[in-house]
Amino acid sequence: MAANTQDRKNFSRYCGYHQNWEGEPLRDLAETDSGTLSGELLRRYWHPVHIASEIGARPKLIKVLGEELVLFKDQSGAYGLVHKKCPHRRASLEYGRCEAHGIRCCYHGWVFDIDGTILEIPGEPDGSPHVQHAQEQIRLGAYPVKEFKGLLFAYLGPFEHQPPFPIYDSYGISEMVMTPYAVPFNCNWIQVLDAIVDPVHTAFLHQSQFSDGFGKLGEIEFYQRDKIRFLGTASRRIGDNIWVRVNELILPNFTQAGSAFACDGTASRYFGRSAFTRWVVPLDDQHCIAYAWGNFGERGDPDEYNTVEGMQKIEQGEILGRSYEERQRHPGDVEAVEGMGLISDHEREYLVPGDRGVTLYRRQMQQLARNLQKGQPPPQPTDLASSVIPTYGSDTVLYRPLQSVTDDHGLLRDTGTKVMDILFDSDNDPAPKRDERIINKLKKLG
C-alpha cells in the first residue's frame, strides 16, 4: 500500500546515517588471477580471447584472466599467445616482429615459436654452449590457441589438464550465419554473467528495446541440469499465444538465450534458436568482454541486425558510446551492471525468489572451485554428450488461448513444463535430428 502523506512525514524513518551498505564481493567467484579459487577454475576451460580478423601482421597486447599476454599470427598463419615479457631481458613482445615461424623480440632478436620454444639467439655464435643451454632450459610462457569460426580461443590452464574443445549444436544449424562480435564491460565478469539466468530483468530493462512481450514477467522457472548447466525459462501470455523463452548458462561462462528481435510472441515459433552464442571472459577482476557470434537467419535474428550496432543491441539492448543523458533515459545492460561499480559488493545484495537462477549457479561455481582446490578436476561441457553438445537457449510460441483468467498462471506454467520436457527428452538424439524431433513434437503440442 502506498504510504500516505502523514507516513511520508515520519522523519524518524530516514536511516542514511545509520545504514552502512558497504560490503565485500564474493571473492571466490569474482577473482580471476592465477592462484585464486575462481581464477584457477576458469583456467580449466577454453575461452575466446579475440576476434581472429582483428589480428594482423603486428602482435597485440591483450589481457586475459589478469595476465598480460601477447597474441600474434606468424607468417605461416599459426597463432601464438605468449607471456608479455621476453625471458632474456624482459622486453615486451608487443614490439616484436612476426616471423615465418614464431615471434622475434625487438631488443636482441631472440625468436620464439608459438609454443614458447627458443628458435634463434642471433647475437651469440651458432651452436655455442650458451645458446644450447638456453634452448634446453628456457622457454617463453605460451598457451595453445584455436581458431574457430572467426573467434580465437585459448586455454590458460596447466597443459597436462587441457580439456577437449567443446562443439555445441548451435555451430551446425543449417543456414545460420554466425558473425563474431565483442562487447567490453568495465566491471567484474560475474556482474555481466548474472543477467543470463535473470529472466526478471528483461521485463524491466529490455521491454522498450526488444518488444512489448519482453515487458511481461510471465511465469519464471529455473532448472539445474547436470553439474554445469543452468536454465531460466519465462512463459508469457501474448494474446492467444504462450511464449516460452529459455535462457541458458553452461559453467563457467557459456551463454545462450532466445532471439532478441525475431520473436515477440505474436507468431508461432518452434525451437527458434539463440540470438547469440556467447562467453563472458574476464580480462581482469574489473573488466571483461562478451565474445560471441551473433546468429542470423530463419531460426536466429533477422539479417538486418548483422551489423556492429545491431549486435551491440542484441548483446545489451542499446548501442555503445551514447551520451550520459541517453544512457540515463534508455539504459541497457552496460549501464545496469557497470553502475554496480568495478566489483559489486555481493555481500550486501538482498536476493529474492526471482534471483534463484543467480543463487543456484553461483553456489555451484563456488563448490566446483573448492573441489578443484582439493584436487577434483571440474566437469567439462564435453561430459554432457558423446559428441556434439545439445543446447537449449530458444523461443517457442504456441497457440494457447486464454481459458480462464484465474487459472492462466497454471496454463503458463504447464505449457512451460511441457516445452522443457520435449527439449530434455531429445537429449540423446544427435544434431540435427534432435532439432527436427523437437520441432515436430512442439508442432503437435501447439
How far apart CA 417 and CA 390 sit, in angstroms, is 18
Stretch that binds ligand FES, among 53-61, 87-95, 212-220, 431-439 (CB under 6 A): 87-95
Q: Which amino acid, 286? A: Q
By three-state DSSP, how is residue 329 classified?
helix
Does the footprint of ligand FES cover residue 110 (CB under 6 A)? yes
Per-position x/- string for 317-356, each x denoting binding to Fe ion as judged by CB under 5 A, each - no binding: ----------------x-----------------------
Q: Which does 91 bind (CB under 5 to 8 A by kind): ligand FES, Fe ion, none?
A: ligand FES
**Minimum CB distance to Fe ion, residue 289 (Å):** 16
For ligand FES, the closer of residues 84 and 346 by Cβ is: 84
Helix (H) or strand (E) holding 72: strand 67-73
C-beta of 105 vs 192, nearer to Fe ion: 192
Question: What contacts 24+ positions apart, CB below 8 Å, involve 198-202?
Answer: 198/232, 198/354, 198/355, 198/357, 198/358, 199/232, 199/233, 199/234, 199/245, 199/247, 199/357, 200/354, 200/355, 201/336, 202/234
Cβ closer to ligand FES: 86 or 152? 86
Considering beta carbons, is residue 93 or 280 the nearer one to ligand FES?
93
Q: Which is nearer to Fe ion, 333 or 395 (CB)?
A: 333
CA–CA distances in Å: residue 142 to residues 28, 76, 79: 26, 18, 11
At closest approach, how far in Å is the CB of 33 from ligand FES? 25
Query: CA of 23: how far to CAs of 36, 40, 348, in Å?
Result: 20, 24, 5
Q: How far is the CB of 107 from ligand FES (least distance, A)?
A: 4
What minimum distance in Å lies between the beta carbon of 142 and ligand FES? 15
User: Smallest gap, in angstroms, from Cβ of residue 90 to ligand FES?
Assistant: 6
Interaction partner, residue 424 (ligand FES, Fe ion, none; CB < 5-8 Å by kind) = none
Q: For residue 107, count CB atoms less than 10 angstroms from its CB and return exposed for 0-12, middle for 13-18, buried for 19 or more.
A: middle
Q: How far is the CB of 120 from ligand FES (least distance, A)?
A: 10
Q: What are the CA-CA distances from residue 122 to residues 99, 107, 128, 151 (Å)?
A: 14, 11, 11, 34
x-or-dash string of contact with Fe ion, 172-201, rule CB under 5 A:
-----------------------x------
Smallest CA-to-CA distance from 114 within 138, 152, 150, 83 is with 83
Q: Please give the single-letter amino acid code of residue 421.
A: D
Cβ-based nearer residue to ligand FES, 95 or 148: 95
Contact predicate 117/131, CB 8 Å = no
| Chosen from Fe ion, ligand FES, none, partner binding at 333 (C-beta under 5 to 8 Å by type) | Fe ion
* Of residues 122 and 432, the one with the C-beta less far from ligand FES: 122
Answer yes or no: are the C-beta atoms of 140 and 119 closer than 8 Å. Answer: no
The C-alpha cell that represents 305 in the structure block: 541486425
Point out which residues bind Fe ion (CB under 5 A): 195, 333
Point out which residues bind ligand FES (CB under 6 A): 86, 88-89, 91, 105, 107-108, 110
